[in-house]
Amino acid sequence: MSTPQIAIIGGGPAGLMTAERLLQAGLRVDLFDAMPSVGRKFLLAGKGGLNLTHSEPIGPFTERYGDRTPEVARWLAGFPPQALRDWAHTLGVETFVGSSGRVFPVEMKAAPLLRAWLHRLRAQGLRLHARHRWQGWCEGDLPTSLRFMSPSGPLLIKTDAVVLALGGASWPQLGSDGAWVPWLDSRGVRIAPLQAANCGFDVETEGSGKSWSPYFAQRFAGAPMKSVRLHCRDGFGPDFDRQGEFVITETGIEGSLVYGASSRIRDTIGRNGHATVQLDLVPGRSLETLGAALARDRATRSLPRHLKMAAGLEGVKAALLRERFSAFALADMLARDPLQLAAELKSWPLKLVAARPVAEAISTSGGVRFDAIDEQYMLRNLPGVFCAGEMLDWEAPTGGYLLSACFASAVATASGVLSVLGRPT
């Protein structure tokens, strides 16, 4: 029996992990990527510290995937977070659990892991083809007959099976540009629209119909909003209510706390045209305690000094108050009803009116619908063509959940390929 030849399109974590599993099973694997080198988004993700996965128990871990929990749980059952850590160890990369529960390589960077991984894959027989942009299928031929634009011109490839691991549409300059959507759509593959996930949002300040004031945007864009609690109610499941921090942008907000609620905020904006979240600017104090502190005689202290002494409000938090209230209105509220001012600080509304563009997002939602693939992750309309990773219709918050599921999806898809080809899994 001849050895099956597999073409994998996409050189991110999902494509590389699929390649590794198929090579280990004795198949011949060619991996094609449009960029000059593979793993570019993976390297960017690890620039400030590669968050591989998370250490929380598998039950709550799988619940992070929202409506797609049943599908992703199936992937994670075959390649759980601990298996990902063990796999990294086989590459000589030790991991540790940070104070937040997130899991990182000891060196914190993605580059050493990727170098060791590529070295092993090449030793296993992987043939890498950089600067090969997929152009769809050969007209009227089998779904496993592929067209590429290569550095030397058009190229036609015929193979036994194809794995698409093309990612979403975020950070297109790194290769994930969503250019695959028309090719699959033309073949009748059902695709959910690609949308920004783990993204920032534009704000509209009260009564202005505009974003931040010019002063606030110029002075505080890039400033971290630390130690706040974000509350979001969308009517679908439990309210989002979490403490953390985010960053002010020229037009709104972004950052880890915002990303955790981004899917719910995005979907609420889609339904209603806007979403209003509440910020607790003083999360360590009860309403009554804060009200009593604000009510104390300010003597000769200025209003900014009093707000700093009584509520710890300074810098970007103090400036945020002026986006809704004038100094006179704040002073008047403080004099008349300090408990009302405390209530405002404990539930500060932010009206969010638009997600930032997909190209700016950390990841995307949407993609190939699960009803378009079978139990082996093969496209129902295109026999012999499989899908893996972020190009499927799911999403995950930051914190290691996205990357962990991409790896696990690849393991599941590789098993599907082997099963369809009648090879041992």
pLDDT number for residue 1: 47
pLDDT number for residue 2: 64
**Global confidence as pTM:** 0.89
CB 403 within 8 A of CB 102: no
Average pLDDT value for residue range 386-410: 95
pLDDT digits (tens, 9 = 90+) for 32-69: 999 999 999 888 876 778 999 999 999 999 999 988 99
Count Cβ neighbours within 10 Å for each residue of 320-356 and write b for 16 or more, e otherwise: bbebbeeeeebbebbeeebeebbebbbebebebbbbb
Domains of the chain by range and CATH?
Answer: 5-196+360-420 (3.50.50.60), 201-355 (no CATH)
CB 94 within 8 A of CB 50: no
Average pLDDT value for residue range 293-321: 88
User: Which uninterrupted H or E stretch holds 275?
Assistant: strand 275-280
The whole-angstrom distance between residue 81's C-alpha and the CA centroid of its chain comes to 17
Alpha helices in 149-286 (DSSP H): 181-185, 214-220, 256-272
Q: How confident is the model at residue 171 (pLDDT cuts 50, 70, 90)?
A: confident
294 closest CA partner among 317, 319, 313, 280 = 313
CB 252 within 8 A of CB 211: yes
pLDDT digits (tens, 9 = 90+) for 335-383: 899 999 999 999 999 999 999 999 999 999 999 999 999 999 999 999 9
Give the percent of the chain with pLDDT over 90. 76
Rounded alpha-carbon distances, angstroms, from residue 205 to 16, 117, 244, 351: 45, 48, 22, 7
106 closest CA partner among 87, 84, 88 = 88
